[in-house]
């Protein structure tokens, strides 16, 4: 007699099937439309192949392109297709790992020669051919020793190593035609599902990301469910390339990074003007919210870092210096400095919450291979603050921080703020009770502000849980910026206390938080978000005077003088160039306003206004123009 099992579907209906039924058969039973769309299934929340027989009663959800969980499986399957194409064209290639990443996937290969652009074209073509062949993904479960022998025969050392490292007696492997891979799965049913394919490029990599290991070639690619979505994605990538902050940073004269100081930024005058603008902006916000600004040393004795826990948990990311026979560490975080400021006087409950802000200059070691523009650096300034408060004040402080963050991101025109709550990681300090109390306080604050959030289990810092904010930029990419972090540990480590109302000594609770995050990284995001066209209140040059010929130089200089007296950042382009060229250059520099000065303007003492967005506006009285600039700056207008 065949046993029957009960399958519960997402809509709550339950149905009995013979044991051994597959998700595909269930999908077919529900309807041919669903069966056609089906890519994989969730069985009791775990992803499985459509062909996996079900032995016991379970909750089953059929995944189609409409389900978020399906994309990972789709891209992961696409990585197998990429490797199948590569090994077909380059039979000697040894394959490593190939995970999905944001916007696509990659696969690493050890090959004799780096892939050329022509190779990549051939690989894309081969992927498309293999897609047309509708090759099935076939799962097999075999003893570990058999898998090792199999990969040895295939000459696939990396896979052999991975199988060896994996525990358990039985391992799962997948076949895609002749391509054989060690993989947990699941996958889409066959290669025919993957139709919209683009190989994006390749770069150097190392086995397991370690420079001491074998060099590899990483091929980046992406796939979409349909050609239209792929085309849209490629267009976005093109736009992102145009907006690349490293490219714009050079063109707009904002910053340079040199081999003499890897991962550190030389801010040029225009770039620093924007950086200072950001800091002035944040200071005004913080002044209005009762913060007090401090500045603490960059280099402190190692005892400080021992006490803070950084030597135990963060040493490999720190820089150390020696002088007068003492070892000292460059601060990777500003927290211990703030603790010492707290300690500088006897604190009373009346002073709490004590909000100490600092534009803190931090140094953190990053491998040279991962450094990139302003986004991955070794030295950066955080718009940091440490809020010392009582247990009861945590929630209201966090509510205020959520409001501040949302307000700041709104001022820059970022949309779609997403929030994540990260909880206790494996390596951590602090007791169970402390962690639970901290996590609960963050959760309550998020709920009371009506903020939607996602929980990232185990993703917190070693000293406390945190809330991260992700914002969406003008071309739809998301970036992580603000962080709010509760810390029940530091006050104990640094023996901080305050005189409570009842006369006893109590420990304050600490909240670390940064709103912009690192100024360097925020600059990268802002440059790409605005394509270098900073809002006028931040623009390094707000107005450029364009005299038509030499006889208008004097008038242009006089107008510039007026503007400067009004606190407006102005430049005069008195090069011996045609006016058309001057306009084009000012436009490329994304200067919000251009004032053309010719005979007519000189005579009438007016200015001919152009703005970078809409071009020619016609003549304006100088006083009216000045008033307008002041108003745009005051309103933090996003465009002229």
Catalytic residue numbers, as ranges: 335, 364, 382, 384, 386, 466, 512
- The DSSP bridge pattern shows strands 4-8 and 58-63 to be parallel
Cβ 415 vs Cβ 459: under 8 Å: no
Distance of CA 471 to the CA centre of its chain: 9
- Nearer Cβ to Zn ion (412/488): 488
How far is it, in rounded angstroms, from Cα 194 to Cα 200? 16
Q: Which is nearer to Zn ion, 218 or 512 (CB)?
A: 512
Closer of 310 and 512 to Zn ion (Cβ): 512
DSSP 392: G
| DSSP state letter for 279 | H
Beta strand 347-348 with 498-499 is parallel
Closest by CA to 572, choosing from 533, 536, 538, 541, is: 541
Minimal distance, residue 337 CB to Zn ion, in Å: 9
Which spans in 489-552 are helix H?
490-493, 519-530
Stretch that binds Zn ion, among 330-338, 392-400, 424-432, 576-584 (CB under 5 A): 330-338
User: Which of 358/528 has CB closer to Zn ion?
Assistant: 358
Taking CB under 5 A as the binding criterion, the range among 2-10, 329-337, 406-414, 626-634 that sits at the site for Zn ion is 329-337
Nearest Cα neighbor of 606 from 617, 596, 592 is 596
Which of 512, 513, 590, 610 contacts Zn ion by CB under 5 A?
A: 512
- Shortest Å distance, C-beta 23 to Zn ion: 17
275 is an interface residue for Zn ion by CB under 5 A: no
CB of 358 to Zn ion, least distance (A): 9
To the nearest whole angstrom, how small is the minimum distance from the Cβ of residue 193 to Zn ion? 14
**Residues binding Zn ion: number (CB under 5 A):** 3
Minimum gap (Å) between residue 48 Cβ and Zn ion: 13
CB of 212 to Zn ion, least distance (A): 27
User: How many other C-beta atoms can be found within 10 angstroms of the C-beta atom of residue 100?
Assistant: 19
Looking at residue 315, what DSSP letter applies?
G
Which residue stretch of 149-157, 299-307, 334-342, 608-616 sits at the interface with Zn ion (rule: CB under 5 A)?
A: 334-342
Q: Return phi, psi of residue 338, to 5°.
A: -65, -40
Instruction: Determine the Cα–Cα distance for residues 49 and 565; give it in Å rounded to an integer.
Output: 71
Q: Pick the closer one to Zn ion by CB: 41 or 335.
A: 335
Interface region with Zn ion, contact rule CB under 5 A, candidates 339-347, 375-383, 387-395, 510-518: 510-518
Which 361-390 residues touch Zn ion, going by CB under 5 A? Answer: none
Q: Which is nearer to Zn ion, 43 or 333 (CB)?
A: 333
Compute CA distances 201 → 103, 117, 121, 124, 309, whole Å: 13, 8, 10, 11, 42
Rounded to a whole number of angstroms, the minimum distance from the CB of residue 336 to Zn ion is 8
Segment contacting Zn ion (CB under 5 A): 84-92, 323-331, 361-369, 504-512?
A: 504-512
The answer to whether 107 and 97 have CB atoms below 8 angstroms apart is yes
Tell me which stretch binds Zn ion (CB under 5 A): 88-96, 285-293, 414-422, 509-517: 509-517
Minimum CB distance to Zn ion, residue 176 (Å):
9
What is the total residue count of the chain? 640
Tell me whether residue 110 or residue 335 sits nearer to Zn ion (CB atom): 335
Query: Judged by CB, which is closer to Zn ion: 333, or 545?
Result: 333
The rounded distance, in Å, linking the Cα atoms of 339 and 22 is 60
Q: Which of 304, 335, 489, 556 binds Zn ion (CB under 5 A)?
A: 335
Between 49 and 573, name the residue whose CB sits nearer to Zn ion.
Answer: 49
Interacting positions 164-223 with Zn ion (CB under 5 A): 183
User: What are the beta bridge partners of residue 281?
Assistant: none
- Alpha-carbon distance 57 to 367, whole Å? 49
How remote is the C-alpha of 197 from its chain's centroid? 25
On the CB side of 432, how many CA atoms lie within 13 Å of its CA? 0
SS3 312: helix
Quickly count: other Cβ atoms within 10 Å of residue 124's Cβ: 18
The 10 Å Cβ neighbour count of residue 577 is 13
What is the spatial order of strands in the sheet that 326-330 belongs to?
Answer: 299-301, 326-330, 320-323
Residue 137 CB, nearest distance to Zn ion (Å)?
Answer: 8
List contacts with Zn ion (CB under 5 A). 183, 335, 512
């Amino acid at each position: 007699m065949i046993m029957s099992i009960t399958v519960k579907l997402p809509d709550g209906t339950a149905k009995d099937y013979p044991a051994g039924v597959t998700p595909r058969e269930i999908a077919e039973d529900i309807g041919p439309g669903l069966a056609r769309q089906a890519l994989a299934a969730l069985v009791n929340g775990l992803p499985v192949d459509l062909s996996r027989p079900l032995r016991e009663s379970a909750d089953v959800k059929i995944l189609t392109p409409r389900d978020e969980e399906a994309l990972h499986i789709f891209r992961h399957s696409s990585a197998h297709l990429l490797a199948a194409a590569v090994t077909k064209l380059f039979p000697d290639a040894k394959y490593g790992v190939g995970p999905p990443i944001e916007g696509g996937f990659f696969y690493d290969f050890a090959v004799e020669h780096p892939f050329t652009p022509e190779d990549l074209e051939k690989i894309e073509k081969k992927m498309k051919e293999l897609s047309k062949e509708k090759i099935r993904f076939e799962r097999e479960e075999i003893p570990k020793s058999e898998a090792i022998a199999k990969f040895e025969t295939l000459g696939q050392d990396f896979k052999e190593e991975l199988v060896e490292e994996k525990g358990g007696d039985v391992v799962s492997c997948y076949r895609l035609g002749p391509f054989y891979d060690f993989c947990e799965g699941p996958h889409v049913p066959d290669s025919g599902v993957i139709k919209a394919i683009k190989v994006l490029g390749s770069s150097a990599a190392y086995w397991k990301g370690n420079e001491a290991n074998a060099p590899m070639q990483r091929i980046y690619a992406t796939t979409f469910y349909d050609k239209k979505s792929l085309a849209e994605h490629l267009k976005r990538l093109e736009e992102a390339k145009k907006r690349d902050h490293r490219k714009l940073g050079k063109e707009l004269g904002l910053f340079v990074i040199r081999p003499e100081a890897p991962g550190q930024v030389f801010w040029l005058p225009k770039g620093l003007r924007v950086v200072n603008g950001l800091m002035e902006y944040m200071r005004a916000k913080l002044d209005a919210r009762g913060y007090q600004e401090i500045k603490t040393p960059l280099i402190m004795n190692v005892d400080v870092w021992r006490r803070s826990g950084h030597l135990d948990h963060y040493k490999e990311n720190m820089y150390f210096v020696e002088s007068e026979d003492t070892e000292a560490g460059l601060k990777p975080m500003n927290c211990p400095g703030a603790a010492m400021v707290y300690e500088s006087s006897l604190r009373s409950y009346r002073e709490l919450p004590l909000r100490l802000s600092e534009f803190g200059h931090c140094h953190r070691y990053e491998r040279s291979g991962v450094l990139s523009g302003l986004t991955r650096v070794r030295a950066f300034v955080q718009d940091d603050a440490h809020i010392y408060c009582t247990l009861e004040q945590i929630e209201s402080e966090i509510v205020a921080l959520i409001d501040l963050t949302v307000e700041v991101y709104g001022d820059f025109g970022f949309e779609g703020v997403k929030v994540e709550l990260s909880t206790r990681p494996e390596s951590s300090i602090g007791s169970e009770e402390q962690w639970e109390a901290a996590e609960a306080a963050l959760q309550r604050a998020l709920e009371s502000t009506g903020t939607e959030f996602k929980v990232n289990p185990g993703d917190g810092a070693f000293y406390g849980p945190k809330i991260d904010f992700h914002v969406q930029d003008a071309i739809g990419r998301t970036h992580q910026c603000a962080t709010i972090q509760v810390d029940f540990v530091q006050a104990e480590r640094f023996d901080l206390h305050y005189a409570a109302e009842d006369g006893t000594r109590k420990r304050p609770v600490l909240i670390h938080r940064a709103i912009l995050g690192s100024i360097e990284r925020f600059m990268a995001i802002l440059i790409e978000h605005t394509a270098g066209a900073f809002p006028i209140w931040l623009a390094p040059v707000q107005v450029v005077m364009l005299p038509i010929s030499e006889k208008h130089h004097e008038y242009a200089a006089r107008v510039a003088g007026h503007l400067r007296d009004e606190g407006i950042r102005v430049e005069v382009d008195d090069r011996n160039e045609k006016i058309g060229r001057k306009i084009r250059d000012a436009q490329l520099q994304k200067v919000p306003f251009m004032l053309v000065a010719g005979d007519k303007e000189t005579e009438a003492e007016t200015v001919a206004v152009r703005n970078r967005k809409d071009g020619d506006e016609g003549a304006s009285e100088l006083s009216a123009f000045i008033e307008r600039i002041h108003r745009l700056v005051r309103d933090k207008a996003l465009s002229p």
